[in-house]
Structure 1
Amino acid sequence: MTRPRTLRANLLPLPGAARQARDLATEACLLWSLPHLIVPIALIASELAANAVEHAGTMTTLTVTRHVDHLRVSAVDGSPVPPTEARPGSGLALLQACASQWGWRTVTGGKEVWAVLSTD
């Protein structure tokens, strides 16, 4: 089995975090020859970062991982508060629309919100 490849960035809780997240997601897609996923992964990464800035207000670690058949993007922030249910126009609604799967879990010191996209 091939080991997953990963790109990661620590994002400050500032307005520029969403831009940094889009840039990291775009870099990952180009590096791994997945240009058809740039738009959806960049949107997802941007929303994860923006939600972390708005709702957690803490440093956020954004990770994009390449698996054999999918990309996984996750944001770990310092707030244990779960994401709220998706409303039309909200970041979580965008995750539901773009991702094959998404979810969240409690981690030490906060939570992780993640999304998966098929590489097909």
Structure 2
Amino acid sequence: MNIYDISVTMENGEAYQLDRYKGKTLLIVNTATKCGLAPQFDELQKLYDKYKAEDFVILGFPSNQFKQEVATAEDAAEACRMTYGVSFPMHEIVKINGKDAHPLFKMLTD
């Protein structure tokens, strides 16, 4: 299995395989809208704006494992868009570590 075989789900419930990003540079980030580091979204958006024309994509994955996220993935994406101007793809709320971690994060940490 490779990263392109993994399915993920957008904040709106649309599932897709990461193979849509084959040939692109990916930055996969765990996000938290209620974290003290939430201003990182400004810098991530600037990075995305600077390089997206060069096939660079940021994929945001909120997680509430650390109790720093809003109730739903749609709420998290909306907060990122309204507060920080985020336009890169945001996804469902996932677990990023432990036995129930999303397969993407299991692969990234193995």
Which TM-score band (shorter chain)? 0.3 to 0.5
More strand by share: 1
Q: TM-score, normalised by structure 2?
A: 0.35
Higher relative contact order (CA 8 A, sep 6+): 2
